[in-house]
């Protein structure tokens, strides 16, 4: 496939994809490998990594299995990252597409709205939303999505403004096609490449945001995320630095992987580079 | 007629992942002092690449001149070191392009760019170069040259930009001017002005000129001799009158018959003659005559043996010239 | 809905059409009070230099651009002021062929689908009938129906223009507006596309508004020629009249500047226009051409000449043309 051939050229992007696949496998296999609740005490506290076959990554101060926490944390981090991004992408596409396609007053209204959301400092906004409502996964997802969509909306709007003037879109208007059909079936597929690239980075940012919340103790108290582990390990940083380092490395690698994938997608989807001899 | 430029068997290749393409495949040309030779053909025929090869500015890293001679006043340009070649470019041989907007630097004024061109090749002071520039702009018909000097390229119309480009090209009184589709981007009334300007300058400066174009009507009005190119080779050459009145190569004949022109008053629309098929890919050339797959007269020999100009008696590369 | 149209009635009737654009630094009147008719099955060539407003005029008639004022009557129905949705049924009657065969087809949609889309949009016949018509159309324009599943980038420029023509024909329109349909093509391919346009016009009894900067192509193709300058139509006449006896000084200069192929053909004396096209943001008062006109008199700079009908049916907007 031409796309894969182009993507493969970017070695860093392939490494990023491999890392992400590992994380996905961890997330998927968590309930199989660690069927119990990761919050449960499993052994003695403060077992260091590589000391025990039973606890390859050690245990925390309450004797919870760190490996189980990391595997289950992968589930939560990925889930929140992906769902929040999906919501942001859908909202961003709808707002951006209508603003860009119709222009004029529609554009003015939608873009002012976008700017209002964009001017709010994002992390503080998430903080407030989660503090006001109960910190549950859906609320966290929603809060992250709300701060992420304006960027995508502006991107999609720009693409649509360029597309609107293109002959093939004019041709669709000329044959009498309905506007919704033109927007979603003619223009949108041609605007998706940069959206996909941006979305991969948005997933990374969402994962970071969630980790930050959990670190501050504002995450969903019922789910184990990487941020939760760091937050819990912070108090014992001097005695057991591995409790913050291991989830920290997991976050770092995942975010890095997503950024590398974003670069790779950009190269592979950018038609200006494609086919260049 | 003393030849200012004599090109023999010039070959330029394009090497890439897709393979090797003979973009210029053994071309020989002769341009006399004060004479205009038109190089005509459709896109991809190698006419622009020929122009770039003459100045040794084929795009790197894929393009390579692999053989032949380019004799300017007897001196083979292909044997010159790069430093000496730089003295030839812009000084002895100048080139103008289709879109002056891409050839002029948008962040410098017209005047600055011409002054720089002059000072690159001539040992004159800034004030003197500026005075020469005003003279040049005047010479190419830019009104109010003293003020236009300080305009940026985007402030000028397409026709005026092309004039500025021409002023820059003739600033060192070159022996040879290569004009690559100089009027293709221009409207017809402006085209007429630019072609008239080129003819006048050529007389004044006794330049040889190579006019690269796809437009046979422009050839008819501007050049004295013409070489028709197809797939990297010259398929027919001769005086403009000969070639346009009595074309002998089936491709030239096809082009002429495919050109729309006004029917006689009261006449009905006739069908234009079509050349069927497409230009072959340079990476996948047919053996034998490159035009054979599209040629109505092609025989077995055409599909096996490449016809040279000698085959058709010196002026036409065809086994069965008309 | 639309009243029955007699054959003598023109298919398209444009009156006093105005379209201006706001640009940084002012307003450009791209189309400035244009009136003309196109008869059924007639080919009208619209010529003029870049920036004269010919493309805008074409797109305004198609209502891809909304006019500021004026009327557009298509087959008896006024479409100049209809809303987007009210306009949709009328779109079946008029289609467009674009200049750039690379930009005018959605790169992500197969060719068969592209040709079927207009019929889908107007729910013409059953899906099976539409598919049959796609095959028929592809054959008609010289494409192989088995290529229907391919994407536009797999075709050459000339073939893509054929796809565009098939798509435009799908709804059996009455009017085809061709905006420089062959100027991006090489000569040998250009001839193929021009021949195809002539064939389908005769076969489908189409009216053609053929917009081009290339006077040779228009002189080859058109029954009548309209000449535009700075948003105004300055001359309309039969092809023979405009090409052989142009009346407006601008038309004369334009036609004299066309390079002629035949080295022995008698050439009209070249009338070389001086100066540049005035800025369309700041058009001259009076006749728009007077700043470059070799024969302008005092009146030309103050009074705008109207497009007048002459005895032979030609129309000219010039104070100095009598008859």
Whether C100 and chain A come into contact, CB under 8 Å, resolves to yes
> What rounded mean pLDDT belongs to chain C?
91
Which chain B residues contact residue A5 at CB under 8 A?
Answer: none
Q: How close B267 comes to chain A (CA, Å)? A: 35
Counting one residue from chain A and one from chain B, the pairs whose CB atoms sit within 8 A come to: 4
Q: Is the pLDDT of residue C276 over 80?
A: no
- Count other Cβ atoms within 10 Å, centred on residue C136: 14
Q: What is the pLDDT of residue B101?
A: 66
In this complex, do C171 and A175 lie within 8 Å of one another by their Cβ atoms? yes
Candidates C96, C106, C168, C211, partner chain A, best to mutate (most A CBs within 10 A): C106
Q: Is the pLDDT of residue A223 over 90?
A: no
| pLDDT grade for C74, boundaries at 50, 70 and 90 | very high
User: In chain A, where are the structural domains located?
Assistant: 2-276
| pLDDT grade for C217, boundaries at 50, 70 and 90 | very high
Interatomic CA distance for residues A209 and A231, integer angstroms: 14
| pLDDT grade for B243, boundaries at 50, 70 and 90 | very high
In this complex, do C191 and B160 lie within 8 Å of one another by their Cβ atoms? no
User: What is A2-276's CATH number, 3.50.50.60, 3.40.50.300, 1.10.3720.10, 3.30.360.10?
Assistant: 1.10.3720.10
Question: Which chain A residue's Cα is nearest to C170?
Answer: A175
User: Span C96-112, mean pLDDT?
Assistant: 91
In this complex, do C62 and A174 lie within 8 Å of one another by their Cβ atoms? yes
Q: Please, what is the angle between helix C111-121 and helix C157-169, to 10°?
A: 20
Q: Is the pLDDT of residue C17 over 70?
A: yes
Task: Encode pLDDT of B30-46 as tens digits.
Answer: 999 989 999 999 988 99
In this complex, do B262 and C219 lie within 8 Å of one another by their Cβ atoms? yes
Whether the Cβ atoms of residue C101 and residue C164 lie closer than 8 Å to each other: yes
User: Span A163-167, mean pLDDT?
Assistant: 89
Give chains near C: 3+ CB pairs under 8 A. A, B
The neighbouring-strand residues paired with C175 are: C94, C207
> What rounded mean pLDDT belongs to chain A?
88
Among A121-125, A266-270, B56-60, B176-180, name the one with the lowest average pLDDT: A266-270
Whether A181 and chain C come into contact, CB under 8 Å, resolves to yes
Q: Is the pLDDT of residue C141 over 50?
A: yes
In this complex, do C103 and A166 lie within 8 Å of one another by their Cβ atoms? yes
User: Span B75-79, mean pLDDT?
Assistant: 94
Surface-to-core class of residue B132, CB atoms within 10 Å of its CB (0-12 exposed, 13-18 middle, 19+ buried): middle
| H or E, element range at C228 | strand C224-229
Interatomic CA distance for residues B187 and A92, integer angstroms: 44
In this complex, do B258 and C156 lie within 8 Å of one another by their Cβ atoms? no
Q: How close C283 comes to chain A (CA, Å)? A: 26
In this complex, do C91 and A176 lie within 8 Å of one another by their Cβ atoms? yes
Counting one residue from chain B and one from chain C, the pairs whose CB atoms sit within 8 A come to: 125
| pLDDT grade for A219, boundaries at 50, 70 and 90 | confident
Prediction ipTM score: 0.86
> What rounded mean pLDDT belongs to chain B?
90
Interatomic CA distance for residues A274 and A255, integer angstroms: 26
Q: Is the pLDDT of residue B75 over 90?
A: yes
Looking up tokens 């033109």 gives: A182
Among A4-13, B251-260, B268-277, name the one with the lowest average pLDDT: B268-277
Whether C191 and chain B come into contact, CB under 8 Å, resolves to yes
Give chains near B: 3+ CB pairs under 8 A. A, C
Candidates A106, A166, A170, A174, partner chain C, best to mutate (most C CBs within 10 A): A174
The neighbouring-strand residues paired with B75 are: B72
Candidates C225, C261, C291, partner chain B, best to mutate (most B CBs within 10 A): C261
In this complex, do C109 and A170 lie within 8 Å of one another by their Cβ atoms? no
Q: What is the pLDDT of residue B135?
A: 93
In this complex, do B272 and C191 lie within 8 Å of one another by their Cβ atoms? yes
Question: In Å, what is the CA distance from A161 to each residue of A102, A158, B230?
Answer: 9, 5, 41
| pLDDT grade for C1, boundaries at 50, 70 and 90 | very low
Task: Encode pLDDT of C152-197 as tens digits.
Answer: 999 989 999 999 999 999 999 999 999 999 988 888 889 999 999 9
Q: What is the pLDDT of residue C12?
A: 96
DSSP state of B155: G
| pLDDT grade for A63, boundaries at 50, 70 and 90 | confident
DSSP, residue by residue, A197-222: HHHHHHHHHHHHHHHHHHHTT-S-TT
| pLDDT grade for C198, boundaries at 50, 70 and 90 | very high
Q: What is the pLDDT of residue A94?
A: 96
Window 25-84 of A, Cβ < 8 Å to C: none
Q: Is the pLDDT of residue A22 over 50?
A: yes
| pLDDT grade for B312, boundaries at 50, 70 and 90 | low
Whether C121 and chain A come into contact, CB under 8 Å, resolves to yes
Which chain C residues contact residue A190 at CB under 8 A?
Answer: 106-108
User: Span B180-202, mean pLDDT?
Assistant: 91
Candidates C43, C188, C241, partner chain B, best to mutate (most B CBs within 10 A): C188
Q: How close B73 comes to chain C (CA, Å)? A: 31
Q: What is the pLDDT of residue A120?
A: 87
Question: Which chain A residue's Cα is nearest to C116?
Answer: A175
Q: Peptide bond before B61: cis, by omega within 30 degrees of 0?
A: yes
Among B161-165, C44-48, C263-267, name the one with the lowest average pLDDT: C263-267
Q: How close B64 comes to chain A (CA, Å)? A: 15
| pLDDT grade for B277, boundaries at 50, 70 and 90 | confident
Whether the Cβ atoms of residue C134 and residue C148 lie closer than 8 Å to each other: yes
In this complex, do C94 and A181 lie within 8 Å of one another by their Cβ atoms? no
Q: What is the pLDDT of residue A277?
A: 30
Which chain B residues contact residue C260 at CB under 8 A?
Answer: 217, 220-221, 261
Question: Which chain A residue's Cα is nearest to B19?
Answer: A277
Whether C107 and chain A come into contact, CB under 8 Å, resolves to yes
Interatomic CA distance for residues B9 and B70, integer angstroms: 9
Q: Is the pLDDT of residue B102 over 60?
A: yes
Whether the Cβ atoms of residue A137 and residue A76 lie closer than 8 Å to each other: yes
Which chain C residues contact residue A172 at CB under 8 A?
Answer: 106, 117
Q: How close A103 comes to chain C (CA, Å)? A: 13
Window 192-251 of C, Cβ < 8 Å to A: none
Among A29-38, B214-223, C36-45, C109-118, name the one with the lowest average pLDDT: A29-38
Q: Is the pLDDT of residue B99 over 90?
A: no
Q: Is the pLDDT of residue C44 over 70?
A: yes
User: Span B217-225, mean pLDDT?
Assistant: 93
Task: Specify the higher pLDDT residue, B18 or A91.
Answer: A91
Which chain B residues contact residue A277 at CB under 8 A?
Answer: 16-18, 62
């Amino acid at each position: 496939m031409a796309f894969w051939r182009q993507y493969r050229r970017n070695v860093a992007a392939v490494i990023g994809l491999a890392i992400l696949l590992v994380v996905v496998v961890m997330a998927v296999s968590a309930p199989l490998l660690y069927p119990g609740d990761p919050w449960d005490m499993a052994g003695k506290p403060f077992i260091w990594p590589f000391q025990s076959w039973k606890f390859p990554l050690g245990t925390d101060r309450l004797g919870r299995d760190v490996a189980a926490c990391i595997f289950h944390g992968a589930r939560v981090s990925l889930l929140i990252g992906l769902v929040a991004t999906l919501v942001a992408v859908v909202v961003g596409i709808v707002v951006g597409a209508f603003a860009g396609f119709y222009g004029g007053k529609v554009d003015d209204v939608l873009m002012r709205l976008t700017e209002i959301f964009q001017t709010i400092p994002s992390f503080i906004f998430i903080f407030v939303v989660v503090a006001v409502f109960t910190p549950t996964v859906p609320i966290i997802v929603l809060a992250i999505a709300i701060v992420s969509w304006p960027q995508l909306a502006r991107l999609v709007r720009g693409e649509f403004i360029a597309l609107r003037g293109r002959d093939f879109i004019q041709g669709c208007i000329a044959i009498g096609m309905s506007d919704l059909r033109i927007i979603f079936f003619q223009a949108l597929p041609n605007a998706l490449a940069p959206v996909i690239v941006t979305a991969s980075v948005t997933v990374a940012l969402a994962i970071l945001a969630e980790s930050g919340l959990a670190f501050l103790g504002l995450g969903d108290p019922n789910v184990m995320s990487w941020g939760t582990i760091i937050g819990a390990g912070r108090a014992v940083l001097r005695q057991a630095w591995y409790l913050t380092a291991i989830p920290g490395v997991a976050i770092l690698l995942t975010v890095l992987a997503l950024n590398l994938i974003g670069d790779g997608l950009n190269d592979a989807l950018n038609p200006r580079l494609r086919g260049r001899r | 007629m003393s030849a200012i430029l004599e090109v023999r068997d010039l070959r330029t290749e394009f090497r890439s992942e897709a393979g090797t393409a003979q973009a210029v495949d053994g071309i020989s040309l002769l341009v006399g002092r004060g004479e205009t030779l038109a190089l005509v053909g459709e896109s991809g025929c190698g006419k622009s690449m020929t122009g770039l090869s003459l100045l040794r500015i084929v795009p790197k890293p894929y393009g390579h001149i692999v053989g032949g001679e380019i004799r300017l006043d007897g001196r083979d340009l292909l044997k010159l070191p790069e430093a000496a070649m730089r003295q030839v470019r812009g000084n002895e041989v100048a080139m103008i392009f289709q879109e002056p907007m891409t050839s002029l630097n948008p962040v410098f004024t017209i005047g600055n760019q011409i002054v720089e061109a002059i000072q690159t090749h001539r040992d004159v002071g800034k004030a003197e170069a500026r005075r020469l520039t005003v003279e040049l702009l005047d010479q190419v018909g830019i009104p109010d040259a003293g003020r236009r000097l300080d305009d940026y390229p985007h402030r000028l119309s397409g026709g005026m930009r092309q004039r500025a480009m021409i002023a820059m090209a003739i600033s060192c009184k070159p022996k040879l001017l290569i004009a690559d589709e100089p009027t293709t981007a221009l409207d017809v009334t402006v085209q007429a002005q630019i072609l008239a300007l080129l003819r006048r300058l050529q007389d004044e400066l006794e330049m040889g000129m190579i006019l690269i174009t796809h437009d046979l009507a422009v050839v008819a009005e501007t050049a004295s001799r013409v070489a028709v190119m197809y797939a990297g080779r010259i398929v027919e050459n001769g005086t403009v009158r000969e070639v346009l009145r009595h074309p002998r190569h089936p491709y030239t004949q096809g082009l002429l018959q495919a050109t729309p022109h006004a029917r006689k008053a009261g006449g009905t629309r006739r069908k234009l003659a079509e050349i069927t098929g497409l230009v072959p890919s340079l990476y996948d050339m047919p053996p034998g005559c490159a035009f054979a797959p599209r040629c109505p007269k092609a025989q077995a020999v055409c599909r096996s043996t490449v016809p040279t100009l000698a085959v058709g008696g010196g002026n036409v590369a065809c086994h069965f010239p008309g | 809905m639309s009243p029955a149209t007699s054959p003598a009635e023109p298919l398209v009737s444009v009156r006093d059409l105005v379209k201006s654009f706001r640009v940084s630094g002012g307003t450009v009147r791209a189309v400035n009070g244009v009136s003309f008719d196109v008869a059924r099955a007639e080919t009208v060539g619209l010529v003029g230099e870049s920036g004269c407003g010919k493309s805008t005029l074409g797109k305004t008639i198609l209502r891809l651009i909304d006019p500021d004022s004026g009327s557009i009557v298509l087959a008896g129905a006024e479409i100049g002021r209809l809303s987007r949705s009210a306009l949709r049924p009328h779109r079946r009657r008029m289609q467009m062929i674009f200049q750039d065969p690379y930009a005018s087809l959605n790169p992500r949609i197969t060719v068969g689908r592209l040709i079927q889309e207009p019929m889908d949009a107007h729910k013409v016949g059953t899906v099976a009938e539409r598919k049959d018509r796609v095959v028929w159309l592809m054959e008609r324009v010289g494409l192989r129906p088995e290529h229907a599943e391919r994407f536009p980038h797999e075709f050459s420029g000339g073939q893509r223009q054929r796809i565009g023509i098939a798509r435009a024909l799908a709804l059996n329109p009455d009017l085809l507006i061709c905006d420089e349909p062959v100027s991006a093509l090489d000569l040998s391919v250009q001839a193929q596309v021009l021949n195809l346009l002539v064939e389908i016009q005769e076969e489908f009894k189409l009216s053609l508004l053929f917009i081009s900067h290339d006077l040779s192509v228009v002189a080859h193709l058109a029954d009548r020629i309209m000449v535009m300058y700075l948003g105004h139509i300055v001359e309309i006449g039969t092809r023979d009249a405009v090409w052989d006896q142009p009346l407006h000084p601008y038309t004369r200069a334009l036609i004299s500047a066309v390079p002629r192929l035949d080295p022995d053909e008698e050439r009209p004396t070249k009338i070389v226009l001086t100066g540049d096209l005035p800025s369309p943001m700041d058009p001259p008062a009076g006749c728009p051409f007077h700043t470059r006109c070799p024969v302008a008199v005092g009146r030309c700079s103050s009074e705008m000449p109207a497009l007048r009908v002459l005895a032979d049916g030609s129309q000219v907007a010039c104070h100095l043309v009598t008859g």
